[in-house]
Amino acid sequence: MIKRKLNEIQKMVSGSGLKSSFEKIQIDGVSIDSRAVNEGNLFIPIVRIKDGHNYVKDAIDNGAAASLWEKDYPNPPKDIPLIFVDNTLLALQKLATNYRKQLSAKVIGVTGSNGKTTTKDMIYSILSTRFKVHKTKGNLNSEYGLPLTLLAVSEDDEVAVLEMGMSNRGEIETLSMIAQPDIAIITMIGSSHIATLGSREEIANAKLEIIAGIKDNGLLIFYGDEPLLKKVNKNGDKKLRYTSFGISEKNDIYQTNVQVNSEKIQFKINSKESPTYSLNLIGKHNINNALAAISVAKELEITDEEIIIGLEELALSGMRMQQIKSDHGYTIINDAWNASPNSVQAAIETFHELSGYNRKILILSDMLELGENEIDYHKEIGKLIVQHNIDFLFTYGELAKFISIEAQKVFGMERVISYVDKKSLIDKVKGFVKPNDAILVKGSRGMALEDVVNALLDVTQ
Quick one: 422 exposed, middle or buried, by C-beta within 10 A (0-12, 13-18, 19+)? middle
Assess whether the region 3-90 and the region 103-312 belong to the same CATH fold.
Answer: no
The amino acid at residue 454 is: N
Query: What are the residue boundaries of the structural domains of the chain, listed by start?
Result: 3-90, 103-312, 322-456
Strand 42-43 and strand 241-246: pairing?
Answer: unpaired
Q: How far apart are the C-alpha atoms of 107 and 135, rounded to whole Å? A: 10
Sequence-distant (≥ 6) Cβ neighbours of residue 54 within 8 angstroms: 45
Q: Is 394 helix (H, G, I), strand (E, B) or coil?
A: strand
Mean pLDDT, contiguous 10-residue spans, the chain (461 residues): 97 97 97 95 93 95 97 92 97 98 97 90 96 91 94 97 91 96 93 76 91 94 91 66 95 94 88 92 88 98 96 79 87 88 88 89 94 92 93 96 96 94 95 94 91 83 42
C-alpha to C-alpha distance for 80 and 42, rounded to whole angstroms: 12
431: how many CB neighbours lie within 10 A of its CB?
Answer: 7
What is the sign, positive or negative, of the torsion defined by CA atoms of 302, 303, 306, 307? positive
Q: Please count the helices (runs of H) and the strands (runs of E) in the chain.
A: 15, 21
CATH number among 3.10.105.10, 3.40.50.300, 3.40.50.920, 3.40.1390.10, domain 3-90: 3.40.1390.10
pLDDT at 237: 60
Question: What is the phi-psi region of residue 27: left when phi exceeds 0, alpha when psi lies from -120 to 50, beta otherwise?
Answer: beta
**Helix or strand run (H / E) with residue 440:** strand 437-442
Closest CA to 285 of 229, 343, 354, 243: 343
Contact present, 127 and 161 (Cβ < 8 Å): yes
CB 82 within 8 A of CB 68: yes
Question: 322-456 sits in which CATH class?
Answer: alpha beta
Report yes or no: 69 and 46 within 8 Å, Cβ to Cβ: no
pLDDT at position 461: 42
pTM comes to: 0.81
The number of residues in the chain equals 461
Which pLDDT value is given to residue 285? 87
Pairing of β 82-85 and β 106-111:
unpaired
Q: Where are the alpha helices (DSSP H) in 276-369?
A: 285-299, 304-312, 341-353
Cα separation, 416 vs 391, whole angstroms:
9
d(C-alpha 313, C-alpha 188), whole Å: 24
What whole-number distance in Å separates Cα of residue 201 and Cα of residue 92? 31
Backbone angles phi, psi at 393, to 5 degrees: -125, 130
The whole-angstrom separation of Cα 442 and Cα 144 is 27
Alpha helices in 13-133 (DSSP H): 56-61, 88-102, 116-127
| DSSP for residue 16 | B
- The confidence score (pLDDT) of residue 460 equals 46
What pLDDT is attached to residue 396?
Answer: 97
Nearest to 159 by CA among 127, 119, 121, 129: 127
Q: Rounded to an integer, what distance in angstroms lies between the CA atom of residue 222 and that of residue 233?
A: 11
Domain 103-312 carries which CATH code?
3.40.1190.10
